[in-house]
Amino acid sequence: MSAQARRLFAQPFYRVMNPLLDYANDTLGTSPLETVRLDATDPCELDEASLVLDALWAHPELVASFVRENPAGLSEQDLEIARGWRHPVTDAFVFVDAEGDYATAMNAERLFVVESLVRRISSQIRAIPSLAVLTLIPYRGQVVTDGRVIHLSDRPRPDATSVISRLLSRTTLHGPITGADELLAYAATHPASSKPEQSWLIGQAPFL
């Protein structure tokens, strides 16, 4: 996908996410900013947006309230995007592949194929393999992050290859999660972790 096509693909994401973050911030009082934008260019504003995102995912019931109240006057099509975000999947993941607009990441149970938003996700990954915290949400039929890749480590242990091979053999039993419907089905039976840094995977993953 070209850079222009990716920007067009991502426009509805930010059109929904930015007012959702404002709503969450108005409700929870996480940031002193009056307007929170996940697509801001200022690093300090992005840091504030990340804090509000964390607060939002700690209270995912706010997504349903936002959809019901629709304070931003979004279209029904945009509200449908937001409805899919009521059950985010937040966890520790190992990136095992990345090329162009897609990356493959595994948690302790499954493989996920993650699509880029504006920036190619492959350009946001420091190394293959590497360990990161991700929040995965559905968007336009695909699996995307909430706009962040939170790196934990790109320093594999000497036994990394054998450990990752064992983890892959376990997570590939049911095939990769490649689309929005599959992600929603997974999220329905796997509540979002409030402490992904304590994930079983982090204890097992072959990273320093």
Per-residue pLDDT of the chain (208 residues; tens, 9 = 90+): 888 988 999 999 999 999 999 999 999 999 999 999 999 999 999 999 999 999 999 999 999 999 999 999 999 999 999 999 999 999 989 999 999 899 999 998 899 999 999 888 888 998 999 999 999 999 999 999 999 999 988 888 888 888 888 888 888 888 999 999 999 999 988 866 556 655 656 666 677 6
| CB burial readout 68-105, b (16+ within 10 A) else e | eeeebebeeebeebbebbbbbbbbbbbbbebeebbbbb
Q: How confident is the model at residue 168, as a pLDDT?
A: 87
Identify the pLDDT of residue 37.
Answer: 96
The pLDDT score that the predictor gives to residue 165 is: 86
Give the type of residue at 36: V
Which neighbouring-strand residues pair with 177? Answer: 112
Predicted local distance difference test score (pLDDT) of residue 137: 97
According to DSSP, residue 191 is labeled P
Place of tokens 């036994």: 159
- Would the pTM count as exceeding 0.85? yes
Among residues 20, 123, 129, which one has the least CA distance to residue 65?
20
pLDDT of residue 195: 62
